[in-house]
Amino acid sequence: MRNVTADTITEAVLRTIADTTEPRLRQIMTSLISHLHAFAREVELTSDEWMAAMEFLARVGETTQTDRNEFILASDTLGVSALVDLLHNRASDGAATSSLLGPFYINGERMRSLEVGGDLIGDNEGEPVVVAGRVTTPQGAPIAGACLEIWQNAANGQYESEAPEHAPGNLRCKMFTDDQGRYRFTTIKPVAYTVPYDGPVGTMLQALGRHAWRPAHIHFRITAVGYRPLVTELFVADDAYIDADAVFGVREPLLVDFRRIESPQEAAAYGVTEGYALVTYDFGLQPVA
Ligand SMILES: [Fe+2]
């Protein structure tokens, strides 16, 4: 290997992993090494540019914390998260369309439990809305006891983990569907926001002349025994950024209207008073193959 050249280095590296016994790992690493080398050759990557990339990755690592994942944000803004989702989560008939997890998902204690019909608004300002629907099989049968994890931003555009003035767990909850597969909660209408650009990903977006805006949305992660987990988002259909999402997460079936509740009777049916908007959405889950 002492006579390795720019022409032979790729083969030399690939030979070192030829004995890898795990076939999928060998396939992935062979392809990754080959594409990385081809990329470096194609752009004739300089030492300074390589070092800038190493420093970028180091800063992405330093910026990543429990409640902010800069690696996911980098993946999101480069369209890799959307590509992986689109490759493997093709909605079949009756199953809901998936979308991105995003950098602000928190698994654990800050996801407080909420009963069906519970209130997420608390002392948040914003347009009140009731969100309701069912979790079902692809055939429309109710799935009782499905777990919905729900999170969204506040009127200032920030998630609770970004804004110290918010109470821990603000606008985040976990809810289990009732025996008819129903879920329902009151919240405020989410607002469009910029993904964090005070970190290395933001520096990259600015260097590329890109904006950081996402159209307003509510995040859902839905799990039930015997079904594939569903990660998705419901988007405000008339948002100004609906066709310019900085992380490429918008899918047509996930656009929802926030229509005004028109009568006391309709409000009562959803457990609220007049003055609320209404969003209804049913999530079909795919059975585990
Ligand atoms: Fe989000």
Same domain assignment for residues 22 and 101:
no
Same domain assignment for residues 23 and 102:
no
One-letter amino acid for residue 273 of the chain:
T
pLDDT at 277: 96
Measured in Å, residue 4 CA sits from the centre of ligand 1 at: 47
Q: Does the pLDDT value for residue 32 go beyond 90?
A: yes
pLDDT at 182: 98
Confidence of residue 1 (pLDDT cuts 50, 70, 90): confident
pLDDT at 110: 74
Q: What percent of the chain has pLDDT over 70?
A: 99
pLDDT at 84: 94
Q: Does the pLDDT value for residue 137 go beyond 80?
A: yes
Q: Map the chain to HEC letters.
A: CCCCCCCCHHHHHHHHCCCCCCHHHHHHHHHHHHHHHHHHHHHCCCHHHHHHHHHHHHHHHHHCECCECHHHHHHHHCCHHHHHHHHHCCCCCCCCCCCCCCCCCCCCCCCCECCCCEECCCCCCCCEEEEEEEEECCCCCECCCCEEEEECCCCCCCCHHHCCCCCCCCCEEEEECCCCCEEEEEEECCCCEECCCCCHHHHHHHHCCCCCEECCEEEEEEECCCECCEEEEEEECCCCCCCCCCCCCCCHHHEECCEECCCHHHHHHCCCCCCCEEEECCEECCECC
Measured in Å, residue 190 CA sits from the centre of ligand 1 at: 9
C-alpha span between 267 and 3 (Å, rounded)? 77
Confidence of residue 205 (pLDDT cuts 50, 70, 90): very high
More confident residue, 67 or 121: 121
C-alpha span between 239 and 259 (Å, rounded)? 14
Same domain assignment for residues 102 and 191:
yes
Measured in Å, residue 137 CA sits from the centre of ligand 1 at: 26
pLDDT at 201: 97
Confidence of residue 47 (pLDDT cuts 50, 70, 90): very high
Domain that holds residue 39: 1-45
Same domain assignment for residues 17 and 132:
no
Q: What is the model's pTM?
A: 0.90
Confidence of residue 242 (pLDDT cuts 50, 70, 90): very high
Asked whether residue 58 is domain-assigned, the answer is no
pLDDT at 24: 96
Measured in Å, residue 151 CA sits from the centre of ligand 1 at: 8
Residue carrying the six token digits 């016994």: 21
Measured in Å, residue 152 CA sits from the centre of ligand 1 at: 6
Same domain assignment for residues 34 and 96:
no
Measured in Å, residue 108 CA sits from the centre of ligand 1 at: 18
Asked whether residue 57 is domain-assigned, the answer is no
Residues 133, 138, 141, 143: is their CA dihedral positive or negative?
A: negative
Measured in Å, residue 139 CA sits from the centre of ligand 1 at: 29
Asked whether residue 200 is domain-assigned, the answer is no
C-alpha span between 261 and 270 (Å, rounded)? 10
Q: Does the pLDDT value for residue 245 go beyond 90?
A: yes
Asked whether residue 213 is domain-assigned, the answer is yes
Same domain assignment for residues 110 and 31:
no
Phi and psi torsions of 121, nearest 5°: -65, -45
Measured in Å, residue 220 CA sits from the centre of ligand 1 at: 10
Measured in Å, residue 195 CA sits from the centre of ligand 1 at: 8
pLDDT at 168: 82
Measured in Å, residue 242 CA sits from the centre of ligand 1 at: 13
- State the total domains in the chain: 2
Measured in Å, residue 62 CA sits from the centre of ligand 1 at: 21
Measured in Å, residue 244 CA sits from the centre of ligand 1 at: 14
Measured in Å, residue 32 CA sits from the centre of ligand 1 at: 29
Measured in Å, residue 226 CA sits from the centre of ligand 1 at: 27
Measured in Å, residue 61 CA sits from the centre of ligand 1 at: 21
Q: Tens of pLDDT along 80-129?
A: 999 999 998 776 778 999 999 988 888 777 788 999 999 999 999 999 99
Same domain assignment for residues 169 and 263:
yes
Same domain assignment for residues 147 and 263:
yes
pLDDT at 66: 81
pLDDT at 120: 95
More confident residue, 3 or 93: 3
pLDDT at 107: 78
Measured in Å, residue 71 CA sits from the centre of ligand 1 at: 15
Q: Mean pLDDT over residues 202-222, rounded?
A: 97
Lowest mean per-residue pLDDT among 57-66, 103-112, 191-200 = 103-112
More confident residue, 248 or 110: 248
Confidence of residue 64 (pLDDT cuts 50, 70, 90): very high
CATH code of 137's domain: 2.60.130.10
Chain centroid to Cα 220, Å, comes to 8
Measured in Å, residue 275 CA sits from the centre of ligand 1 at: 25
Measured in Å, residue 153 CA sits from the centre of ligand 1 at: 7
Q: Mean pLDDT over residues 235-245, rounded?
A: 97
Measured in Å, residue 222 CA sits from the centre of ligand 1 at: 16
Q: Mean pLDDT over residues 262-269, rounded?
A: 90
Measured in Å, residue 142 CA sits from the centre of ligand 1 at: 27
Measured in Å, residue 217 CA sits from the centre of ligand 1 at: 6
CA atoms within 13 A on the CB side of 3: 0
